[in-house]
Amino acid sequence: MTVSGSRIDFQRIDEAVLALMHLTLHDQRDGVARSWKGFDWDALSRLHSAGWIASPAGKARSVVLTDAGLRRSQELFQALFVAEDEGETPEAKEADQTQPIGPTIDAPRSVGGRTDPLIAELAADYSLSERTFQCLLKIPARFPDIPIPARDVAATLRTSHIAPLSTVELLALPNFSHECCRELAVAIERLGWSAHVHAEHPLRPDAVGVTAAWRSYFDTMVRQRREVDRRALDMLEMKDEGLTNEEVGRQVGVSASRVGQLLKRARDIREKRRGGSAERG
């Protein structure tokens, strides 16, 4: 295939498609990442052949990214679409990228009123993705020596239970990836838990591949999650006022089915936040 006498570089097309899939990631539960598949069918077929995604065939409107595909999608999104500010020195860029989201908070940071927050509170605070959160809930089954009742893990699992675990132990959890390790390492660091993690302990940001570029990428993703969830919580308030999904959708400009998806997300967030508040009470 040619355009104006030039040969098309399909590899670059495939890289762009895989990077754009990162923008439409959704329903990241139980270690499975899905993305909407509204792209060129030939490109999707090539990505499947390369092992980046599961088979795109079928009636589903989304496709599953493999673990390798998810990592590659994140890398390509960072490389292709994260812009650098012009006029800044390399030192200024580096300093800016390493700053945590939001105002600077002296360690130990408080989440949900605690310096040893529930993992559910970290997830509600966006420090951890849904995938990482769901994987960590499997810790009691994998490590029975940790004193957590398996029947109510979300209400009892704390940062202090996880900080001593090594990357080898964490990666033994079903579906727990190196990307999950990076999220957890940064969350522990930002909570001021470095004193609880030995200098040679592998669950340190620099030891699990956390770079300035990765921090910038992750902070961008967190901001996007916060914006989506803010809209979802606004929709839940409308729903509480008695509006139907169709009425909410008309007000915010999305379909009723999308409203249903976001309402489920909003209820999950509300439950996590209430869980932390109830436990503190």
pLDDT at 102: 30
pLDDT at 27: 61
- Name the CATH code of domain 7-81 (choices 1.10.10, 1.10.1060, 2.40.160, 3.30.70): 1.10.10
pLDDT at 95: 40
The alpha carbon of residue 104 and the mean position of all alpha carbons in its chain are separated, in whole angstroms, by: 22
Rounded Cα distance, 257 and 70, in Å: 26
pLDDT at 201: 55
Task: Extract the tokens encoding 132.
Answer: 């990482």
CATH 1.10.10 range(s) for the chain read 7-81
Q: If the chain, 281 residues long, is cut into consecutive pieces of 10 residues, what is the mean pLDDT of each piece?
A: 66 90 71 81 90 86 85 84 56 41 35 67 78 87 78 80 80 86 82 53 72 80 79 89 90 86 84 58 46
Rounded Cα distance, 9 and 13, in Å: 7
Rounded Cα distance, 272 and 86, in Å: 40
pLDDT at 159: 80
pLDDT at 150: 65
Q: Identify residue 38 by its one-letter amino acid code.
A: G
- DSSP class of residue 222 equals H
Rounded Cα distance, 217 and 79, in Å: 10
Task: Extract the tokens encoding 147.
Answer: 């004193």
Q: Which residues pair with 111 in a beta bridge?
A: 114
Q: What are phi and psi of 101, to 5 degrees?
A: -65, 145
The answer to whether 158 touches 117, Cβ cutoff 8 Å, is yes
- Whole-Å CA distances, 253 to 218, 245, 246, 249, 257: 28, 11, 10, 6, 12
Name the CA radius of gyration of the chain, rounded: 20
The answer to whether 31 touches 129, Cβ cutoff 8 Å, is no
DSSP-based three-state secondary structure for 146 = coil
Rounded Cα distance, 17 and 27, in Å: 19
Rounded Cα distance, 186 and 167, in Å: 13
Angle at 115 between CA 28 and CA 182, to 5 degrees: 40
Strand 32-36's sheet: what is its strand order?
Answer: 25-29, 32-36, 62-65
